Amino acid sequence: MTEDIRNIVKEHGRLSVDVASLTDDADLYAAGLTSHASVNLMLALEAKFDIEFPERMLRRKSFESIAAMKAAISELVPQ
């Protein structure tokens, strides 16, 4: 799952640095993630994992790092 998330961040995050250079816990907002890009990120993640983020997850914190996204998605993907 982490690899898939990394690929989506690479494609849609429009970061100012290479995603490969970031740890899973790195602050993506400090790496240049804008709120506009984070919307595209959410849409791509929803499509990839066939999920819908509920309103409670649609806040800044849920997308601040690769680890945070993984935690949010894990809650929604049937195990």
DSSP label at 79? -
Contact of 60 with 37, CB cutoff 8 Å = no
Residue 36 binds other proteins, judged by CB under 8 A: yes
What is the rounded distance in angstroms from the CA atom of residue 45 to the CA atom of residue 70?
Answer: 10
Considering only residues 57 through 76, tell me which ones interact with other proteins, judged by CB under 8 A: 58-61
Nearer Cβ to other proteins (35/79): 35
Residue 42 binds other proteins, judged by CB under 8 A: yes
Tokens of 42: 């959410």
> Which chain residues interact with other proteins by CB under 8 A?
15-17, 29-36, 39, 42-43, 46, 52-56, 58-61
